[in-house]
Amino acid sequence: MQKRQLGRSGLEVSALGLGCMGLSFGYGPATEKQAAIALIRAAVERGVTFFDTAEAYGPFVNEELLGEALAPFRDKLVIATKFGFEDGVSLRGMDSRPERIRAVAEAALKRLRTDVIDLFYQHRVDPKVPIEDVAGTVKALITEGKVRHFGLSEANARTIRLAHAVHPVAALQSEYSLWWREPEAEIIPTLEELGIGFVPFSPLGKGFLTGAISATTEFDSSDYRNIFPRFTSDARTANQALVDRLGEIARQHGATPAQIALAWLLAQKPWIVPIPGTTKLHRLEENLGAAAITLSAGDLADIERALAAIAVIGDRYPAHLQQRVGR
């Protein structure tokens, strides 16, 4: 597995990380603990050094899972976690008060079985707390040796600049993929200017770009895709054209649609590190295979032309969640 630097932070990670949320939260019932540990350790064995979690995934159980799974390899890995929701529960809204950030850090250190958090993200921007106060608090935690690097998630360009002026932002984690390209307009140029790495979550469109989801797919009642406008049956029917075209391109490269979607992201910038998640070993191996695919400038131009005429249907989030991003 190749390594990449997240911007100018000096933080080196595997070219693909593992997003661990889905093992405990968001996509239906949690994976059985020992099966989840086995999957995480399989990723380590295959060269993954970058693992993403958050207190809100569960809440709390996902950090505990990673703490146990990664303990034997801790000194070789980069673990990212997040603060920013009231009591760690995403439905309760944001809470990035300095005292709360400190409390989350102390609790996360215990759950992750570590003495330092490699990358500490603000999960969502809290409009009630100035970003300068947030950055200053994380800066203090870094000075104290409890955190190594500061990150933001789903922040807008202005917020990124304000935070970066207080303490360098190592990485921004936001959604970016072939079916959500809004970051290209303002976010990616800002990150490039400031030397900040980009960690795209949902790089496979929450599973849709794999080709494994159709208009008739039924999600578990606890799967949060049930509330996303982009995942209504009508939207999935309309968006199938994108997946079909992606499948044609993949066949030309002897690859899968997921691999081309990830290889496309890797080809955008050398400081982009996607974090696809999965609960299945064969999907993990498929995703990691994308790191071995090199798309030429001609390939990228072909993909651009092929997909340019296909409009993606449906909002990314329902209104109450959309209000939390781009702040």
| Residues with active-site annotation | 57
CA distances to 124, 150, 164, 166, 266 from 160, rounded to whole Å, are: 12, 11, 6, 10, 22
Taking a C-beta distance cutoff of 8 angstroms, is the pair 102, 137 a contact? yes
Rounded Cα distance, 169 and 171, in Å: 6
Residue with the two structure tokens 């996509």: 27
**3-class SS at 140?**
helix
Locate all alpha helices (DSSP H) within the chain, ordered by sequence.
Answer: 33-45, 61-70, 98-111, 131-143, 157-166, 187-194, 233-252, 257-268, 281-288, 297-308, 319-322
Rounded Cα distance, 307 and 320, in Å: 30
Q: Within 10 Å of residue 242's Cβ, how many Cβ atoms? A: 21
Write down the number of H helices and E strands in the chain.
11, 9
Taking a C-beta distance cutoff of 8 angstroms, is the pair 291, 16 a contact? yes
Q: Apex CA 262: angle with CA 308 and CA 51, to 5°?
A: 140
Taking a C-beta distance cutoff of 8 angstroms, is the pair 311, 111 a contact? no
